Amino acid sequence: MLTRIQVGIVVGTCLVMVGSAAWALQAGGVEVGDLETGSVVGQPFKELEVDAQLFAIELGKLKSWYPPVTILDFKVRPGRPVLLKVTNNSAVERGFQMTDAVNAGSPFVLKAEVVLKPGETKYIGVPTSDLFYATQGNTLTYRDHLNPKEPGGKLVMIK
């Protein structure tokens, strides 16, 4: 027969295991890195095709991310992770943030964020499951979180 201490240990272990399972549902598989050293869900960035290239640009005094709309058609591409290449082509430090604007306050929302020095390029890898299940609908927004009043863009997913 189990003692009270043993029962407490078993119950505590079960609660920890249940709590861990709940965290597994949270988005967070987003990985940021360099082409040579970065990876997402065990796949090196250098072995993945770049799905979209996004550029921080300056037009006069306007700072923006280009292109303003990026479309990924998941009906014709394999289920591999998504790889984005983000490059800062401006003369100042720029931020890149991609999230589901509708659910931005949710702890389960997908959120990728990086700060880029002038001329710097980073790669962002996102598991397809995070794109599909951690978003409300089929659109993510991207913007410069360091300059939030400047225009950003949208990543539209055709599922």
Q: Are 153 and 57 in contact (CB under 8 A)?
A: no
How far is C-alpha 57 from the chain's CA centre?
21
- CA-CA distances (angstroms) from residue 50 to 35, 46, 132? 10, 9, 18
- Alpha-helix runs per DSSP H in the chain: 4-24, 128-133
Instruction: Name the DSSP class of 103.
Output: G
Query: Whole-angstrom distance between the N-terminal and C-terminal Cα of the chain?
Result: 54
List the pLDDT tens digit at each of the 159 positions of the chain. 545 554 444 444 443 433 322 233 344 478 999 999 999 988 999 999 999 999 999 998 889 999 999 999 999 987 889 999 999 999 999 999 998 877 666 766 788 999 999 999 999 999 988 888 767 778 899 999 999 999 999 999 998
Show the domains of the chain with their CATH numbers: 28-158 (2.60.40.420)
- What tokens were used for 102? 């509708």
- What tokens were used for 78? 């394999």
- What tokens were used for 27? 């988005």
Q: Are 113 and 145 in contact (CB under 8 A)?
A: yes
Count of residues in the chain:
159
Q: Is 77 helix (H, G, I), strand (E, B) or coil?
A: coil
CA 16 – CA 70 distance, rounded (Å): 41
